[in-house]
A = this chain, B = another copy of it.
Amino acid sequence: MDSGLLDRELIAGLRARGQRVTLPRLLVHRHVRGAQRHVTAEQVYAELADELPSLSPATVYSTLDLLDELGLVRRMNTPRGAIMYDSRVDDHHHVICRQCGRMQDVDVAIDTRAAERAARSAGFEVAHAQLTLNGLCPDCAT
């Protein structure tokens, strides 16, 4: 996906909510969605330092939350406590190394309907289901 297309998605989302299109928003969005990987806010901040030296951590955090609200990115947690942002919004799952924190996609369909049904009958509105496998990555398994 080239940045033209990405930009247009962001702009459409912002317009729909009457919010402004700004350079930090464009850059953060391109960086996360272009990267095809799982990033922390701190990584985004560090990696955009060259491109936009005036960028501040606070802006990165608020922009990432905004992208999550717009549904362009998904905010999630690693078992080690760090917040990560996933450039994929479609249903997929993750393995996480409990030692080094490495996270990887698991592209396998899992039937979670029974769990969703149970949660709904307990009165919850369920937005999405996410399976997390905990373990050791190839490197840490030694």
Q: Which residues of A contact B (CB under 8 A)?
A: 75-81, 83, 93, 95, 97-98, 104, 106-112, 114-119, 122-138, 141
Q: Which residues of B contact A136 (CB under 8 A)?
A: 124-125, 127
| Cα of A111 to Cα of B111 in the assembled complex, Å | 7
| Cα of A115 to Cα of B111 in the assembled complex, Å | 11
User: Looking across the interface, which residue of chain B has its beta carbon closest to that of A116?
Assistant: B133
Instruction: Give me 18 other A-B pairs in contact (C-beta within 8 A), A76-B79, A115-B133, A129-B134 excluded.
Output: A77-B79, A77-B81, A95-B119, A95-B122, A95-B124, A108-B115, A108-B118, A110-B112, A111-B111, A116-B133, A122-B138, A123-B138, A124-B133, A124-B136, A124-B141, A126-B133, A129-B132, A132-B132
Task: Tell me if B124 and A137 are in contact (CB < 8 A).
Answer: yes
Task: Tell me if B112 and A124 are in contact (CB < 8 A).
Answer: no
| Cα of A58 to Cα of B57 in the assembled complex, Å | 29
Q: Which residues of B contact A129 (CB under 8 A)?
A: 131-134
Q: Which residues of B contact A134 (CB under 8 A)?
A: 126-130
